[in-house]
Structure 1
């Protein structure tokens, strides 16, 4: 019998890199050591350079093992059509409201169908932030790999008919 997800724990944190307001930098913000002088231009920024934020999603499986995935994003959020700044305090409630109920109690047997469900979750008629979709599917892939005693790359190769 395959394990199922019994508990979901979300842990906000900081990434190993920062978020930069690319528009403000391209508009001439002057570097001041590690930081930039001036006000941000892109919505969602509190400074031109700010600490990157993340949320780790931890899944406790019914067999006692844990799986994890990290909701994180890129250096230049909001630029070139990318999703905006990822703020843990804004997105944590969405994970708890939309992602957790989808995963809680679900048998951890295959990756692809659940990944597609996660990718199609919507809030206010828009897809969830790409960081949430990335972290949730990463946690699910880790769970499936652990439950099936495979590497994540083996799970993906099997379900997408790829060669390793």
Structure 2
């Protein structure tokens, strides 16, 4: 069973690509638009609509299976690949990747990925290509074996069929209060992200942020169903370090102080600081984690920036430089590497969070669900978009359909 043809279709990501450096430098908002000049290369403005590119594999029985390529919201930041260039990605896919696809057996998933993703001109293919093509190859294998994508991954990685539902984490975007209410009413497992990406949202010495954390905890008891007790997860985009300095002891002290304001809750703090390089990030995050563990704090450190590739994730897990690693799927590349990343984290007894980006699509989100469930990740992101309802529906429904199918097996 071979691939007969390769199709490409232009598409939209579910949110926008944002210039993180410009926002961090203080760019103001005018409605939904950021005012000012972009800083990160390739950005024509600080906020641009997210684009995507679908790759379709025409199989021998004329079935067509698809995967979607895109970049993450903060492209070009923290060591990530540059902004998604549809024309460039389309050209490279047509010239280099398509001929390789016509020469592989899509029924053998990992072998097909290995052959298609060989280096080109001594360099790795763009991670967006790996991400989208690996989704399409996984769907092809599932179609040919009459199985779910999760079952293909379990077979390829010699894993038992999953039995545990993976908790879902929602992100609020800038409509924080309204979206927190939506999450609570839907009894989301982990919430709310909060998008604390500016000095205004963090506040002097973090007071604005701390007030928001307390409000979220209080709100869960005010409008949540009886017994509802979510994990609280906040992404602060390095603002603890930017506001109070980069000394690990001071950062740990601040994180403990925040945790003390919401007793009884598990508190995840994502990207407390950006130390400028992967090596510095690993060393300093390991110190922060150690301090929190020694104190018995309920707070957990989540790494995002400067932890992009599979090798990065391996280094963080080995160094215990986070309680929870965000496996940011488009930044990892091949979705097979996302599976490997989860398994590395589990081996090293570090939490694995299959994340991604609001700029993704329905297809990439659904594929991520199968990887998360097959590897039994600790949590997964509701994606794409920033509206809560859509991403929670896409990811939650796909997980429910998958377990209905697996239970019938």
- SS for the counterpart of 1:106 is coil
State yes or no: 1:44 paired with 2:42.
yes
Deviation at 1:111, TM superposition (A): 0.2
Q: What residue is the counterpart of 1:54 in the other structure?
A: 52
State yes or no: 1:6 paired with 2:4.
yes
Deviation at 1:64, TM superposition (A): 1.5
The question of whether the paired residues in 2 share the 8 Å contact of 1:69 and 1:138 is answered with yes
Instruction: Tell me the distance in 2 between the aligned counterparts of 1:117 and 1:105.
Output: 9
Encode CA deviations 1:106-133: one digit per residue, 9 max, x unaligned: 33221001112233333x5321221111
The question of whether the paired residues in 2 share the 8 Å contact of 1:98 and 1:121 is answered with no
The question of whether the paired residues in 2 share the 8 Å contact of 1:18 and 1:75 is answered with yes
- SS for the counterpart of 2:106 is coil
Q: What residue is the counterpart of 2:158 in the other structure?
A: 161
Gaps of 5+ in 1: none
Deviation at 1:105, TM superposition (A): 4.5
1:142 to 139, 143, 149: 139
- SS for the counterpart of 1:156 is helix
Instruction: Tell me the distance in 2 between the aligned counterparts of 1:49 and 1:82.
Output: 17
Deviation at 1:19, TM superposition (A): 0.3
How many residue pairs were aligned?
161
The question of whether the paired residues in 1 share the 8 Å contact of 2:106 and 2:112 is answered with no
Q: What residue is the counterpart of 2:149 in the other structure?
A: 152
Task: Give the alignment's TM-score, normalised by structure 2.
Answer: 0.38
The question of whether the paired residues in 2 share the 8 Å contact of 1:29 and 1:36 is answered with yes
Deviation at 1:85, TM superposition (A): 0.4
Deviation at 1:89, TM superposition (A): 1.1
Instruction: Tell me the distance in 1 between the aligned counterparts of 2:116 and 2:14.
Output: 25
For the aligned residue pairs, the C-alpha RMSD in angstroms reads: 1.2
State yes or no: 1:97 paired with 2:95.
yes
State yes or no: 1:27 paired with 2:25.
yes
Which structure's CA Rg is the greater one? Answer: 2
Q: What residue is the counterpart of 1:63 in the other structure?
A: 61
Kindly report structure 1 stretches of 4+ aligned residues shifted beyond 6 Å. none
The question of whether the paired residues in 1 share the 8 Å contact of 2:55 and 2:133 is answered with yes
- SS for the counterpart of 2:142 is helix
Q: What residue is the counterpart of 1:17 in the other structure?
A: 15
2:83 to 57, 70, 85: 85
Instruction: Tell me the distance in 2 between the aligned counterparts of 1:91 and 1:138.
Output: 16
